[in-house]
A = this chain, B = another copy of it.
Amino acid sequence: MIGVEGLPLVQPGDDVGEVIAISITKNGMTLEDWDIVVVSQKIVSKAEGRLVNLGQLRPSKRAEELAKLTNKDARLVEYVLKESKRVLGIAEQALVVETYAGLVCLNAGIDKSNVSGKDTYSLLPTDPDGSAREIRSKLRELTGKNVGVIICDTYSRPFRNGIVDFAIGLAGVRPFKDYRGTCDLFGNQLKFKLVATADEIAAAAELVMGQGTEAIPVAIIKGLASVELDNDIKSTELIMPTSRDLYRGSIR
């Protein structure tokens, strides 16, 4: 795992794949086939202009009501509502929502950290898998290498204290390693072991990337034999359908 340092501050309109390729070369690093390039959601959102300034917005009545309950800026709540399919819960400073992509998270992933400008916030990319595919194909064009790309972001979780990184966009790298049907050390058949390796890679990358204060928005993971590259990838496979989620309904 290597953090890519020295990236320039990404601006709307920048090509993230190109910025990464240039920084890798500048750092004296090289990409190899099967490397996995993990990219922070924040620079993808910035490059894609997924930034909003609250100043321009007049909040709806519902946003004003929820703003009172959460002690949040009603204009920010309005943006959370725009990005969300459903509001699942209300807490101090937080709305638990399900985004249109199906992600259950706080405040629809709308975030102020590492975004310049008073009252300017970043939204999640509209199509993170598409963003990942663009970065992957640009890296292939500029380096000739066949790599996987994971777009990661930091989230809170039920039951566990502290935040960790998940994969929110994928290109070329499978979300899972599937042990189901294989046998363990003693010949017992494994029935349930579908490992979310893409989430584990995102979590691993956070350890070298940090939270922006370190200015390392990209990490390269080399030598991961457990990972299989594939072309037809959807990160939404990492989202558990409500009907199959054993925890839903049981966590009060």
Contact = CB atoms under 8 A, between A and B. Distances in A.
B188 A175 contact: no
Contacts of A194: 161-163
Secondary structure at the A interface, as helix, strand, loop or mixed, is: loop
Count class of interface residues, chain A: 35 or more
7 contacts: A1-B1, A89-B246, A113-B193, A156-B192, A158-B251, A161-B194, A204-B207
A106 B246 contact: yes
A159 B161 contact: no
Interface in A183-202: 183-186, 188, 190, 192-197, 199-201
A56 interface: no
A154 B199 CA distance: 13
B158 A247 contact: yes
Contact of A185 (B9, B90, B104, B157): B9
A207 B200 contact: yes
A196 B251 contact: no
A34 interface: no
A212 to B, nearest CB: 5
